[in-house]
């Protein structure tokens, strides 16, 4: 009987961790014992000064 163990790690600085809004484990297709995860962050992107 297969055993599924969901152990997910996403490393982030404390400041970035505060901006995390959602996370998901992709389980639709089995790749191996590992599965891709996505994390959505609430980030505001800025144009670099040399491009303004």
Q: Is the pLDDT of residue 48 over 90?
A: no
Res 4 pLDDT > 70: no
Per-residue model confidence (pLDDT) at position 7:
63
The pTM for the full model equals 0.57
Q: Would you state the pLDDT for residue 41?
A: 92
Residue spans of the domains in the chain: they are 14-51
For 9-35, how does the pLDDT look when each residue is reduced to its tens digit (9 = 90+)? Answer: 677 899 999 999 998 888 888 777 777
SS (H, E, C) the chain: CCCCCCCCCCCCCHHHHHCEEEEEECCCCCCCCCCCEEEEECCCCCCCHHHC
Q: Could you tell me if 9 and 26 are in contact, meaning their C-beta atoms sit under 8 angstroms apart?
A: no
Q: What is the mean pLDDT of residues 27-50?
A: 82
Residue indicated by tokens 């040399």: 50
- Where does the pLDDT of residue 42 fall: very low under 50, low under 70, confident under 90, or very high at 90 and above? very high
């Amino acid at each position: 009987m297969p055993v599924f163990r969901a152990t997910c790690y996403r490393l982030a600085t404390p400041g970035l961790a505060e901006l995390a809004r959602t996370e998901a484990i992709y389980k639709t297709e089995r790749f191996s014992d590992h599965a891709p995860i996505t994390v959505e962050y609430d980030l505001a992107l800025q144009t670099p000064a040399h491009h303004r």
